[in-house]
Chains A and B, each alone.
Chain A
Amino acid sequence: MKGDSLLLIGRRLLQAAPVVMGIIVVTFILTRALPGDPAVFFAGPAADEKSIAEIRASLGLDKSWPEQFWVYLQNLARGDLGKSISTGQPVMEEIATRLPASLELTLMGLLLAVAIAIPLGILAATRPNSFVDHLCRLVVTIGVSLPTFFTGLFLVYIFYFLLGLSPAPLGRLSIIHISPDHVTGFYLIDSLIAGDLEVFRAALSQMILPASTLAIFALAPLARMTRAAMLGVLSSDYVRTARASGLSSRTVLWVYAFQNAMLPVLTTLGMVFSFLLGANVLVEKVFAWPGIGSFAIEALIASDYAAVQGFVLAMALMYVLLNLAIDILYTVVDPRIGLEG
């Protein structure tokens, strides 16, 4: 069984390769097909035909698309995503410094959502029509009906403006703190590695509101799927068998019902995570979070095509990796995969 799943994981990895290639092609074409000429943009308002042509040549835009694509590939292979026009920094560097901020926020939001949604869904399923079940329904309705930017602003209004419980929504750390030494790029982890509890607390307090905003958004599908999956599994034949065999309620619930119910929840989790990456863009804007989402918005407004291209590529790669991870997790959890695939 073990060797089989390793083989399977290898095959899934190979299957991901053409997808990555496709993403590279699409981002390349997309940015070239966009209206507006970057050379004109670069040259500035006072440029004449000649200087624009020079800049076009220096950017390599006078070559044919296949040639440009070849150059683009070579640059990619070297990890060169071009330079951002608006910041003047290499796009790769921008993304590398901003991605951990986004990831940390997203993961924290997801973690919060999972920690609340799964117990809520299980309780709701095991006690249908109880108080918990109604609470679950309420939370789900709230979660799907409130847009994230609204939840974000609402939380800021209550907890920062009215109650003064949380710090100003201005990024990952207030200015009085110095960011911890870079190890993982996640402030919460880095500050713990550095043993600086005060920075940890400060980073955490900055993160609670934006992470909660994302969590409220992610809660709904997770709680609903957990509840539905648990209800389905609890009325399944094998749970009936487990009950008829006199297994303890705990074993029936956790070993027989929960493990099976987690399969569809896992799929939903993957989907929710990719939704969150998208929702992140607005939440980062609301909380002045220095992640790749806010970077992308600025780049888009400034027609900064190298930056947009880099952002799209990074996000797409993350989706692919995420789906790969979910697939692999699935093959580990569900023995039936392998043979059918």
Chain B
Amino acid sequence: MESRNPLLAVDNLSLEFRTRTGVVKALENVSFEIEKGQTVGVVGESGSGKSVMSYAIMGISDPAARITSGRIVFGGISLFEKSGQELQEMRGREISMIFQSPRTALNPIRTIGSQLEDVIYRHSSFRGRQIRGRALDLLNQVHIPDPEKRYHAYPFELSGGMCQRVMIAIAISSNPWLLIADEPVTGLDVTTQAAIMDLIKDAARERNMGTILITHDLGLAAEYCDRIIVMHSGHVVEVADTEHLFMRPRHPYTAKLIGATPNASRDLAELSSIPGNLPDLRAELPACRYSERCEHLKEDCLEPPLPRLETEAGHLVACRYPL
């Protein structure tokens, strides 16, 4: 029974922000699933709704955000049916999240040990000295050298990579089922990036933990993810297994994204850029939000509904005329 249920199912999720200048339709009919132990990449340029979606899953959306339709089902239970208290207890215990710029993501005037303890105290039955033991154990697990000494360090005394390790320690402290990593290595140097990504991968494998890796780096997603979700201005435009996606992208946007990603076998001169910008999400939008930038635009592309074709098993594309 349980094995047939996905770990997380986002089903037709629409979300908008009510702002002074109008309603921003930040997500529209977003659907995807994640299995246990699976690593799923969410890629797309800035403003495509990657972070908004992950905050919605965490239940920490901005107060101005309204979910207008859809469901988020986690472990077979709809999250919207849970009380605020229940959701709060789930966060950090069953679903965890780590963020970009780890140095500002930690409380600047609290030692990393205390911050780790706060979360352990909240989610475990450890008390008193056990908490410290558990915290040190976690710092060891994320390979922080000399954890006894670092325990009393403040975030500003540690490097960005170290801070991200602490963030990971906090996130995995209760062995969650799902980890959302929102641009976890952006802004870190390349060797640190690899180390942090390996750490996340190992932590996920040991715990059979589902992972959502949000990134704008297609190369990174290709290296670490089983499956990739491509987002464009609040729509999921393509979902496929990593190999499939790179071998045969079906959505014009995905193809452009891959064409814009540097790799070893390609000259810099061959890199293409994607024309145009993301549309203004406050305006009336055509069914396909990529239409304005699309080279293969046909007249009926603007007419609703936005199709969701399964071109082959497990390969979904939101385009009427897939490549």
Contact = CB atoms under 8 A, between A and B. Distances in A.
A334 B156 CA distance: 11
Contact of B119 (A245, A259, A263, A339): A245
Nearest to B89: A246
A260 B91 CA distance: 23
Contacts of A336: 108-109, 154, 156
A19 interface: no
B263 interface: no
Interface in B90-146: 90-93, 96-97, 99, 101, 104-110, 118-119, 122-123
A336 B92 CA distance: 28
Contact of A244 (B60, B89, B122, B156): B60
Contact of A238 (B58, B93, B105, B122): B105
B308 interface: no
A236 interface: yes
Interface string A214-257: 00000000000000000000001110111111111101000110
A178 B273 CA distance: 86
B109 A251 contact: no
A243 B105 CA distance: 11
A1 interface: yes
Contacts, number: 77
Contact of B88 (A249, A255, A259, A333): A249
Interface in B157-175: 167, 170-171
How many A residues touch the partner, as a band? 20 to 34
A243 B101 CA distance: 17
Interface residues of B, number: 29
A251 B101 CA distance: 23
B109 A259 contact: yes
B91 A244 contact: yes
A249 B87 CA distance: 12
A335 interface: yes
B108 A260 contact: yes
B94 to A, nearest CB: 9
B107 A242 contact: yes
Given A244-B96, A334-B109, A251 B88 contact: no
A335 B96 contact: no
A237 B156 contact: no
Q: Which residue, A1, A241, A263, A339, has most C-beta atoms of chain B within 10 A?
A: A241
B248 interface: no
B152 interface: yes
Contact of B60 (A243, A248, A335): A243
A260 B107 CA distance: 8
Contacts of B119: 245-247
Contact of B118 (A236, A247, A334): A247
Contacts of A248: 88, 122
Contacts of A246: 88-93, 119, 122-123
Contact of A245 (B101, B108, B122, B152): B122
Contacts of A1: 152
A230 to B, nearest CB: 14
B109 A245 contact: no
B104 A247 contact: no
Interface in A285-306: none
A99 B60 CA distance: 52
Interface string A305-341: 0000000000000000000000000000111100100
B60 A251 contact: no
A40 B13 CA distance: 89
A73 to B, nearest CB: 43
B158 to A, nearest CB: 12
Nearest to A263: B109
Contacts of B167: 241
B184 to A, nearest CB: 13
Contacts of B101: 237
Contacts of B58: 244
Contact of A255 (B118, B152, B170): B118
Contacts of A244: 58, 60, 91-92, 96-97, 99
B110 to A, nearest CB: 7
Contacts of A339: 156
Nearest to A249: B88
Contacts of A240: 60, 99, 105
A263 B108 CA distance: 12
B99 A241 contact: yes
A163 B314 CA distance: 80
B107 A256 contact: yes
Given A244-B91, A244-B96, A245-B170, A238 B108 contact: yes
A247 B117 CA distance: 11
A126 to B, nearest CB: 10
A77 B170 CA distance: 58
26 contacts: A236-B104, A237-B101, A237-B104, A237-B105, A238-B104, A240-B60, A241-B106, A241-B167, A243-B60, A244-B58, A244-B92, A245-B91, A245-B118, A245-B122, A246-B89, A246-B90, A246-B92, A246-B122, A246-B123, A247-B118, A248-B122, A251-B122, A256-B110, A259-B109, A260-B107, A335-B154
Interface of B: 58, 60, 88-93, 96-97, 99, 101, 104-110, 118-119, 122-123, 152, 154, 156, 167, 170-171
The 7 closest A-B pairs by CB, nearest first: A246-B91, A246-B92, A245-B92, A237-B104, A244-B97, A238-B107, A237-B105
Given A243-B60, A335-B109, 17 more contacts: A238-B108, A241-B99, A241-B105, A241-B167, A244-B91, A244-B92, A244-B97, A246-B89, A247-B92, A248-B122, A251-B122, A256-B107, A256-B110, A259-B109, A259-B110, A333-B109, A336-B109
